[in-house]
Amino acid sequence: MSIIVNHVSCVFGGDTNMPVNALKDINLVINEGEFIGLIGHTGSGKSTLVQHLNGLIKATEGAVYFNGEDISDKDFDKKKLRSKVGLVFQYPEHQLFEIDVFSDVCFGPKNLGLSKKETELRAYKALKQVGISDEYFYQSPFALSGGQKRRVAIAGVLAMEPEVLILDEPTAGLDPKGRDEILTMIKKLQTEMGITVILVSHSMEDVAQYVDRIVVMNQGEIMYDAEPKEVFSHYKELEAVELAAPAVTYIMEKCREAGFPVNVKATTVLEAKNEILRIFHK
Amino acid sequence: MEIIETKNLVFEYIRRDDEGNVEGFTKAVDNVNLEVKQGDFIAILGHNGSGKSTLAKHLNAVVMPTEGTVYVDGKDTQDKEALWDIRKTAGMVFQNPDNQIIGQIVEEDVGFGPENMGVPTQEIWERVEESLKAVGMYAYRKHSPNKLSGGQKQRVSIAGVLAMHPKCIVLDEPTAMLDPNGRKEVIRAVRALNQAEDITVILITHYMEEVIHADKVFVMDQGKVVMEGTPKKIFSQVERLKELRLDVPQVTLLAYELGKSGLNLPKGILTTEEFVEELQKAALRML
């Protein structure tokens, strides 16, 4: 299972006199089971790129291959693709609509044409995966807290049993504990169930903490595609494109400037702590 | 006199089931006493559902107290006669810039507030100009808001409030939807207004780094103010904040974690500069 993005370009308004090149010659391979962070400033093309991955937007040029098949082929089953590549939009709780939590999560699998039993089984499993306990199943989704609503919305996508889960800023507006809970849950889906995860995020700290690989977008192009340490070592270049490195990267840099012989590649608090303890021989 | 004062403020709402029967009462705000001085920079922290936003909505009379009183610049928010004055005194900025911008062009959007207040045309333009300059968006005055970045849009929203000449601005998670640079831009603009124009700022946020320069921090839980003090005092209590579903800035956390492993640094370090300085002192002590 893999997604290959091959020389994909996307032009909006190509037949007008103001065409916008949203994506320019994107090449990307997403391997099975990876946890990828997708970062970039507002308008850099992140959302346009992820919408190509499940066929919501058709590439102007180039092609997207899902398991070796071109998704723009006439014979390709788009409906199946959308169940395999689940997309969780920003503020997904705005899409909740059913009378109770359980029915809301059933909506997706029901529309796949599954039996009532299978639908309910999947909904139950998905709600368990996101950590919603039984007592909430028959409550209105609108009576839940912000973090819980978001879990239910994610469960709605999980119930489709996707192989790839794309989340567009799943932690926006949540309190710090809520952020950690959602991200830990997503990490668990990746490690325990082998789901490939693409996390679109504006929080460099979260990305540094959770993902294995970072793709940086700028003006419709891929600027970096590497592991977090490597990407964040270019913090000056990231700042030039309205991004940043995690706070600890700057702390380590300042420590080095002050004469401490630290390795500045730490991107998480734990790594920074171990590095400082190392030079203090603790 | 305080610019904002709440006395034993309680806000209660009735929970109903599907048939509309009363299930019970929830106190979203529970006996809150705030005193905010003109020119202060106040931050309010608290987990989702702790009552921050409900409290904020009391500060410009969007929501009325169930019990207690809210005074804005000495005026009771429940006094209908004073409503317009209160809304002019305390402006609000919300999370999503797209929900707050209505103009086709940046300068029209900023002029909307003063126009509704009946400000003479010439003065509206003067206010639009000074407000856009204050948030560093004057160069974009002829642009369409649609083409701006999130941080720029949010600064236009702030300019829209500024053009009404408020004494106080309440910002409810203004950076939640922004990229790192957008967050920086907005916080920089807000701090500049506070320092240069002496506008009182009440900032609600989930980003701990944004409150380190505040004069005072209030932490809410279950509708109550459970902690209050300087950022240093608040962020010294890492464990307590974690219990409240909150966090501390990464530099504070790093110093705290080093302390747990035997490398003692003072509590409540808030900036990188402070951290490096203390680390140097620690290195000297070990020589």
Taking only the tens place, the pLDDT of each residue in B44-72 is: 999 988 999 999 999 989 999 999 999 99
Q: Do B254 and A42 touch (CB under 8 A)?
A: no
Measured distance CA(A88)–CA(A154) in Å, rounded: 7
Mutate which: A41, A44, A91, A183, vs B, most B CBs within 10 A: A41
Residue of B183, B263, B283 with shortest CB distance to A282: B263
Residues B191, B158: contact at Cβ < 8 Å? no
Do the Cβ atoms of A248 and B254 come within 8 Å?
yes
Maximum average pLDDT range among A36-40, A136-140, B182-186: A36-40
Which residue in this structure is represented by tokens 């410009």? B60
Å from B277 to nearest chain A CA?
9
Distance CA A258, CA A252 (A): 10
Confidence check: pLDDT of A155 > 90: yes
Percent of chain B at pLDDT > 90 equals 77
Is residue A205 less than 8 Å (CB to CB) from chain B? yes
Q: Do B149 and A43 touch (CB under 8 A)?
A: yes
Instruction: Name every chain B residue with its beta carbon within 8 A of the beta carbon of A269.
Output: 250, 253-254, 257
A82 falls in which pLDDT band (50, 70, 90)?
confident
Torsion of CA A129, A130, A134, A138, to 10 degrees: -120
What's the whole-number mean pLDDT along residues A123-140? 92
pLDDT single digits (tens) B187-241: 999 999 999 989 999 999 999 999 999 999 999 999 999 999 999 999 999 999 9
Domains with residue ranges and CATH for chain B: 4-231 (3.40.50.300)
Q: Does A172 touch chain B (CB under 8 A)?
A: yes
When pLDDT is cut at 50, 70 and 90, the band that residue A40 belongs to is very high
Beta-bridge mates of residue B6: B34, B70
A282 falls in which pLDDT band (50, 70, 90)? low
pLDDT for position B115:
93
Banded model confidence at residue B20, pLDDT cuts 50, 70, 90? confident
Name the least confident of B2-11, B37-46, B181-190.
B181-190
Residue B24 is predicted with a pLDDT of 80
**What would the pLDDT profile of A205-219 be if each residue is shown by its tens digit?**
999 999 999 999 999
Q: Which residues of B touch A90 (CB under 8 A)?
A: 177
Nearest to B31 by CA among B57, B69, B75, B60: B69
Beta strands (DSSP E) in B50-135 are 67-72, 75-76, 90-93
ipTM: 0.84
Q: Give the model's confidence band at B14: pLDDT under 50 very low, under 70 low, under 90 confident, else very high.
A: confident
Put simply, the answer to whether B276 touches A277 (Cβ < 8 Å) is no
- The nearest CA of chain A is from the CA of B251 a distance in Å of 7
**B79 has a pLDDT exceeding 90:** yes
Q: What is the mean pLDDT of residues B106-131?
A: 94
Q: Residue range B14-18: average pLDDT?
A: 75
Q: Are A213 and A33 in contact (CB under 8 A)?
A: no
Average pLDDT, chain B: 92
CB A112 within 8 A of CB A123: no
Give the span between the Cα atoms of A179 and A177, in whole angstroms.
5
Neighboring chain A residues of B209 at a CB cutoff of 8 Å: 247
Q: Cβ B49–A258 below 8 Å, yes or no? A: no
Q: Indicate which of B254, B277, B284 best probes the interface with A, i.e. most A CBs within 10 Å of its own CB.
A: B254
Check if the beta carbon of residue A43 is closer than 8 Å to that of residue A50. no
Nearest to B272 among A202, A251, A277 (CB): A251
**Cα separation of B216 and B202, whole Å?**
10
pLDDT at site B18: 67
Partner-chain residue, chosen from A145, A179, A202, that has the shortest CB–CB distance to B49: A145
Q: Mean of the pLDDT values across residues B19-27?
A: 81
- What value does the mean pLDDT take over residues B69-87? 93
| Partner B contacted by A219 (CB < 8 A) | no
pLDDT digits (tens, 9 = 90+) for B140-197: 999 999 888 888 899 999 999 999 999 999 999 999 888 888 899 899 999 999 999 8
Rg of chain B over Cα atoms, rounded to whole angstroms, equals 21
Sign, Cα dihedral of B223, B225, B230, B234: negative
Shortest distance between the Cα of B93 and any Cα of chain A, in A, equals 15
Buried b (16+ CB within 10 A) or exposed e, A162-183: bbbbbbbbbbbbbbbbbbbbbb
The whole-chain average pLDDT of chain A stands at 92
> Of the candidates A140, A147, A204, which has its C-beta nearest B180's C-beta?
A204
How many CB pairs below 8 Å do chains A and B form together?
Answer: 121
SS3 A273: helix
Other CB atoms within 10 Å distance of the CB of residue B103: 15
pLDDT-derived band at A16, boundaries 50, 70, 90: confident
Residue of chain A nearest B287, judged by CA positions: A280
Among chain A residues, CA nearest to B207: A176
Lowest mean pLDDT segment, chosen from A76-80, A119-123, A197-201: A76-80
- Min Cα distance A106 → chain B (Å) is 21
Q: Above 90 in pLDDT, residue A144? A: no
Residues B179, A276: C-beta atoms closer than 8 Å: no
Task: Report the C-alpha gap between A235 and A240 in whole angstroms.
Answer: 9
CA-nearest residue to A39 within chain B is B179
Per-residue pLDDT, averaged over A150-173, amounts to 93
pTM of the model: 0.88
Q: What percent of chain A has pLDDT over 90?
A: 75
Is any Cβ of chain B less than 8 angstroms from the Cβ of A245?
no
Q: Which of A242, A250, A272 sits opposite B179 (nearest CB)?
A: A242
pLDDT value of position B229: 96
In this structure, the number of other CB atoms found within 10 A of the CB of residue B10 comes to 16
Query: How many Cα atoms sit within 13 Å of B45 on the Cβ side?
Result: 32
Mean pLDDT in residue range A58-80: 91
Count CA atoms closer than 13 A to B139's CA, side-chain side: 3
Q: Would you state the pLDDT for residue B142? A: 94
Could you tell me if A173 and B49 are in contact, meaning their C-beta atoms sit under 8 angstroms apart?
no
**CA distance to partner chain A, nearest, from residue B106 (Å):** 18
Residue B203 β-bridge partners = B43, B171
How many whole angstroms separate alpha carbon B225 and alpha carbon B1? 22
With CA atoms as reference, the chain B residue closest to A256 would be: B276
Report the pLDDT value the prediction gives residue A6, as an integer from 0 to 100: 96
Chain B: nearest CA to A11, how far in angstroms? 17
Q: Which comes out higher in pLDDT, residue A82 or A31? A: A31
For residue B15, the model assigns a pLDDT of: 78
